[in-house]
Amino acid sequence: MSELGMAASPVRSSRRLLAPLVSLLLLVVGLSSPAKATLFTAESFTLGNGLRVVVVENHRAPVVLQMIFYQAGSADAPPGKSGIAHFLEHLMFKGTPSVPAGEFSHRVALMGGEDNAFTTEDYTAFHQTVARSHLAEVMQLEADRMTNLVLAESQVDSERAVIIEERRRDIDNNPAGQLVEMMTASLFLNHPYRLPVLGWAHEMVTLSRQDALDFYHRWYAPNNAILIIAGDVTAAEVRPLAEKIYGPIPARSLPPRQRLTEPTTFAPRQLVLRNADVHQTFWQRVYLAPTYRDPPAATGYGLDVLAELLAGGVNSRLYKDLVIAKGIATAVNADYDASLRDYGRFSVTAVPPVGGDMAKLGRTIDADIADLLAKGVSDSEVAAAKGRLQADAVKARDGLMGPARLIGISLSVGLSLDEVQNWSDRIATVTPADVMAAARRVFRIDTSVTGELQAETQP
Amino acid sequence: MRRILLAAMLTFLLAPLARAADIERVVSPQGIEAWLIEDHSNQLISVTIGFHGGSATDPRGKQGLARLTAALLDEGAGDMDSAAFQGRLDALGIEFGFDADWDNLTGGMRLLTRDCDEAFRLLGLALSAPRFDADAVSRVKAQMLSAIAGDADDPETLAWQSWLRLALGDHPYTWPIKGTPTSLAAISAADLKAFVARRLARDQMKIAVVGDIDALTLATLLDRSFAGLPAKAAPIEVPQARFATPGGVAVIDRNLAQSVVQFGAAGIMRQDPDFYAAALIGDIMGAGNLTSRLEGSLREQRGLVYSVETYNAPYDRVAILGGSLATKNATAGEAIALVRAEWRRMHDEGPTAQELADAKTHMIGSFPVRFTSTYGAAQALLDIQLEGLPIDYVDHREQLYQQVTLEDARRVARRIYDDAALRFLVLGHPEGVKATLPSPPLE
């Protein structure tokens, strides 16, 4: 914690309710750019062993960020081993023959650094921010644990207890987290996206050292990773370092990625979680949606604009109707989540006032969606939404983590660097007809799950 | 590809300039000061602004006044009502907002260079002529009530709030910053206007700007936006906060799967010469990066917690040396005993020479990370100003940490790491925990 007062404040905001939802949606917030310019100053190349490298320049401070994305996440868990990708993420800090347990983060700290990691459905990412003079060292640390991980049984046992504490915090102690977990498992009836990233509690307790090593040997390889270096550095500087440090690691033959797909669904699903301890309630609808890669090509971009004009600002449809005009919500959010490889998600979330009428809130949102489908969208609201998205694009260049994360996620889900770079130009071409085509494609109630977190205990 | 290369070259050429610019003191013709870092690598500008005097100045019975005022500053000003004002921000894609903590009301905006004039005009208008229209006030009150409900659902927030009440009694720092349903209902438009008139004045104002703007342009905008603010704020009348209970443990019984534990005692104030030694020891104890003594003991060795962290938090009227952890109910007693043991060890032995050297390397080396984005840099510059530090603090900071000796560190460890003084607040169904202090009231 910094010595500077505001940063040191332990006072916490009420970020919990929407955090698990909003964190899924960062792709949309980040992805944008000024018209006729690429989003980032970025260059990419691929090493002989298949490691894809992207360098994103930002010279604001003499600092660099390394981020590696392994293309394996919770959806790649073998049956009965839910959470193994996340467990391995934790165990990746347990050392190698040359870097003993606990040393990794310590060494990064001595480079003026911070390090962490995160796991999602499709990938597992590790990142370190260090002074630029330490770039080669931190690359060596990451390359070392790509192949040399050593796991002692006792460390596996204590770390398993840690991830179970993590689940207690995020799920057991958090009814909103419980509801979102149930909704996800109901949205995906067959695809492994139904599994919680942390894992089901009863399977987490059985995860073994061998399970973790099997997953590691199956997926952790240069030809299954994307390396992002962002900050006060150029591609010309990074390339020789990457070739020297990561280049010698041999490629591995990767197993085919076999995932089940979703069936045709015949009915919407509705979930209500009632908890006597809950004070802040919410309503959420999630539709299964296409990805950017699904045809027709304009759909994903149309969904970005659709989300923005529904709830992206004070003049958006839902904010104006629910928050301003009717006062039946205190907050509303619409989101196109394109951060998954195989399916997209489109969601609408609203928080009623304390003691507010949840049923009326849900009915009103449904009526607003029906109204949009029946009457269409205006040229001016599409233009305003596109303008806001393009202003966000310029702001997305600010900082190291945002751009690196955005590029890493986008490439991980199968987009090209060009598609990331040209996102803003593509948004500029979206027409009201594209938005309506996207809306008709996504607003199909039989593909949706509606969840309500309620404060009452009675049925 | 040509576009990428061109952009790369451009950034490369500009980079040395951006770094050499350092922090510039800009003073407008009418005497308004701002700290500026010029950075023309993106067409972006970040602005932060702060005023001394926050929620601790809320009158009893009107808790939440500072936070409500802050939340309403972007809800209409001058001849623009909420819809017009927010519509303008929205149309230009300007990020804009204010907040209040115990000691300060702060705000900021991030905008595209092309909108610079209009953004500064809106910022000046928000601070000098906020409207507080009835519909906006009642809507934002409803949003705050919802946020208060969210706090009641968050065990960490609840434990922190309860710990404050346990440790500091009835000081304004223990009142909820967002207020209560009753106190919010008691706040009128006149109260909000009075807060603005008393607090948002030039003598308590600090400004930082980072990005695509030069000093001359900024000076003109400073005058245009802020010269109309009152010259002098009302005095800030907040008493020192004192620890109200002796060390010990209080338990609030809640139906939780995991006990949430807050702990703390008196820390080191920002102006105290021992501040830097305390920060270094804190880095070793539990504020560092997965490598601290507490992380090692509770997480790495025993798997008791997902996270345990400590802080020395110096506020204007009290400094708190504290921390937090969460562990399953069955191991709450064990976790508390381990925190006490590490506290005692630090008190008795202090840090090792190696630990102190490593902490210095980390504290010095990690500082530039705060400057990697324009908004982060603007926040860092504002924090330095609000703490009353000089503009050349960034240059001297390294030396202030380097000069801490092992002897200093051991002396300061003995001074503040007193495990008998720690007040623990446990929220949950903890096992192996004996309450020695009465539970503070939950509102």
Q: CATH number of the domain that B124 lies in?
A: 3.30.830.10
Query: B364 at the A interface (CB within 8 A)?
Result: yes
Q: Which residue of B has its CA nearest to A175?
A: B153
- Using pLDDT thresholds of 50, 70 and 90, give the confidence band for residue A17: very low
For chain A, what is the radius of gyration of the CA atoms? 22
Mean pLDDT of all residues in A197-215: 98
CB A281 within 8 A of CB A353: no
Report if residue B286 sits inside a domain. yes
The pLDDT assigned to B96 comes to 94
Report if residue B144 sits inside a domain. yes
**Residues B142, B252 within the same domain:** no
Mean pLDDT of all residues in A56-61: 92
The pLDDT assigned to A32 comes to 33
The model's pLDDT over B16-52, given as tens digits with 9 standing for 90+, comes to: 333 434 899 999 999 999 999 999 999 999 999 999 9
Residues 257-276 of chain B with CB under 8 A from chain A are 257-258, 260, 270, 275-276
- Using pLDDT thresholds of 50, 70 and 90, give the confidence band for residue A37: low
Mean pLDDT of all residues in A364-386: 97
- Using pLDDT thresholds of 50, 70 and 90, give the confidence band for residue B8: very low
Task: Please say whether the dihedral angle defined by the alpha carbons of residues B181, B185, B189 and B190, taken in this order, is positive or negative.
Answer: negative
- ipTM score: 0.90
> In terms of DSSP bridges, do strands B95-100 and B248-253 run parallel, antiparallel, or are they unpaired?
unpaired
Query: B361 at the A interface (CB within 8 A)?
Result: yes
The pLDDT assigned to A456 comes to 77
Q: How many CA atoms lie within 13 A of B321 on its CB side?
A: 25
Is the pLDDT reported for residue A8 higher than 70? Answer: no
| Of A29-33, A272-276, B135-139, minimum mean pLDDT range | A29-33
Q: Which chain A residues touch B149 with a CB distance below 8 Å?
A: 279-280, 354
**Residues B265, B210 within the same domain:** no
The pLDDT assigned to A41 comes to 87
Percent pLDDT > 90 in chain B is: 91
Is the pLDDT reported for residue A404 higher than 70? Answer: yes
* B97, two tokens: 């907002």
**Residues B218, B266 within the same domain:** no
* CA–CA distance, B386 with B205 (Å, rounded to integer): 9
Q: What is the mean pLDDT of chain A?
A: 90
From the candidates A57, A89, A142, A159, which is the catalytic residue?
A89
The pLDDT assigned to A6 comes to 27
**Residues B114, B66 within the same domain:** yes
The pLDDT assigned to B157 comes to 95
Query: B253 at the A interface (CB within 8 A)?
Result: no
Q: How many CA atoms lie within 13 A of A161 on its CB side?
A: 18
Q: How many CA atoms lie within 13 A of A166 on its CB side?
A: 22
| Of A75-89, A114-128, B281-295, minimum mean pLDDT range | B281-295
**Residues B292, B176 within the same domain:** no
- Using pLDDT thresholds of 50, 70 and 90, give the confidence band for residue A12: very low
Range of the domain at B79: 9-226
Report if residue B436 sits inside a domain. no
- Using pLDDT thresholds of 50, 70 and 90, give the confidence band for residue A457: low
Is the pLDDT reported for residue A23 higher than 50? Answer: no
Query: Residue B287: what residue type?
Result: A
Q: Please work out, in degrees rounded to the nearest 5, the angle formed at the alpha carbon of residue B135 by the alpha carbons of B83 and B191.
A: 115
Query: B291 at the A interface (CB within 8 A)?
Result: yes
Query: A344 at the B interface (CB within 8 A)?
Result: no
* A332, two tokens: 């509303």
- Using pLDDT thresholds of 50, 70 and 90, give the confidence band for residue A298: confident
CB A191 within 8 A of CB A260: yes
| Of A397-401, B3-7, B179-183, B384-388, minimum mean pLDDT range | B3-7
Mean pLDDT of all residues in B172-181: 97
Mean pLDDT of all residues in B343-353: 98
Beta carbons of A9 and B15 less than 8 Å apart: no
Percent pLDDT > 70 in chain B is: 94
The pLDDT assigned to A28 comes to 32
Active site residue A89: yes
**Residues B176, B325 within the same domain:** no
Q: Please work out, in degrees rounded to the nearest 5, the angle formed at the alpha carbon of residue B440 by the alpha carbons of B436 and B443.
A: 160
Domain count, chain B: 2
**Residues B219, B295 within the same domain:** no
The model's pLDDT over B385-433, given as tens digits with 9 standing for 90+, comes to: 999 999 999 999 999 999 999 999 999 999 999 999 999 999 999 999 9
Is the pLDDT reported for residue A10 higher than 60? Answer: no
- Using pLDDT thresholds of 50, 70 and 90, give the confidence band for residue A436: very high
CA distance B193 to chain A (A): 23
Mean pLDDT of all residues in A436-441: 97
Report if residue B146 sits inside a domain. yes
Residue of B90, B142, B387 lying closest to A330 (CB–CB): B142
Percent pLDDT > 90 in chain A is: 84
Mean pLDDT of all residues in A445-453: 97
The pLDDT assigned to A27 comes to 32
**Residues B140, B187 within the same domain:** yes
Percent pLDDT > 70 in chain A is: 91
The pLDDT assigned to B290 comes to 55
The model's pLDDT over B359-384, given as tens digits with 9 standing for 90+, comes to: 999 999 999 999 999 999 999 999 99
Query: A454 at the B interface (CB within 8 A)?
Result: no
Report if residue B332 sits inside a domain. yes
pTM as predicted: 0.91
**Residues B211, B344 within the same domain:** no
**Residues B211, B263 within the same domain:** no
Q: What contacts A73, CB < 8 A, 6 or more positions away? A: A85, A119, A120, A121, A122, A123, A124, A197
Q: What contacts A1, CB < 8 A, 6 or more positions away? A: A7, A8, B282, B287, B309, B311, B312, B313
Beta strands, E only, A58-108: 63-70
> In terms of DSSP bridges, do strands B95-100 and B33-38 run parallel, antiparallel, or are they unpaired?
unpaired
Domain boundary among B170, B195, B226: B226
Q: What contacts A110, CB < 8 A, 6 or more positions away? A: B358, B361, B362, B365
Select the residue from B366, B384, B386, B387 to test the A interface by mutation, using most A Cβ atoms within 10 A: B366
The pLDDT assigned to B16 comes to 33
Report if residue B2 sits inside a domain. no
Identify the residue whose tokens are 């204007």. Answer: B316
Report if residue B243 sits inside a domain. no
For chain B, what is the radius of gyration of the CA atoms? 24
**Residues B219, B252 within the same domain:** no
Mean pLDDT of all residues in A405-412: 94
Mean pLDDT of all residues in B62-89: 97
* CA–CA distance, A332 with A309 (Å, rounded to integer): 12
Identify the residue whose tokens are 């006990």. Answer: B259
Is the pLDDT reported for residue A315 higher than 80? Answer: yes
CA distance A6 to chain B (A): 6
Beta carbons of B303 and A158 less than 8 Å apart: yes
Higher-confidence residue: B326 or A456? B326
Is the pLDDT reported for residue B187 higher than 70? Answer: yes
* A414, two tokens: 């199968």
**Main-chain phi, psi angles of B100, to 5 degrees:** -135, 135
Mean pLDDT of all residues in A405-409: 94
Residues 380-419 of chain A with CB under 8 A from chain B are 384, 387-388, 390-392, 394-395, 397-400, 402
Is the pLDDT reported for residue A26 higher than 50? Answer: no
Residue of A173, A384, A402 lying closest to B91 (CB–CB): A384
Supply the DSSP string of A203-272, one letter for each residue.
Answer: HHTT--HHHHHHHHHHH-SGGGEEEEEEES--HHHHHHHHHHHTTTSPP-PPPP-----PPP--S-EEEE
Q: Where is A119: in which H helix or E strand?
A: strand A114-119
**Residues B184, B260 within the same domain:** no
* CA–CA distance, B391 with B46 (Å, rounded to integer): 18
Domain boundary among B193, B226, B259: B226
Report if residue B240 sits inside a domain. no
* CA–CA distance, A31 with A391 (Å, rounded to integer): 11
Domains in chain A with CATH codes:
49-245 (3.30.830.10), 269-454 (3.30.830.10)
Mean pLDDT of all residues in A377-403: 92
The pLDDT assigned to B19 comes to 40
The pLDDT assigned to A21 comes to 29
A–B interface: beta-carbon pairs under 8 A: 296
Is the pLDDT reported for residue A107 higher than 60? Answer: yes
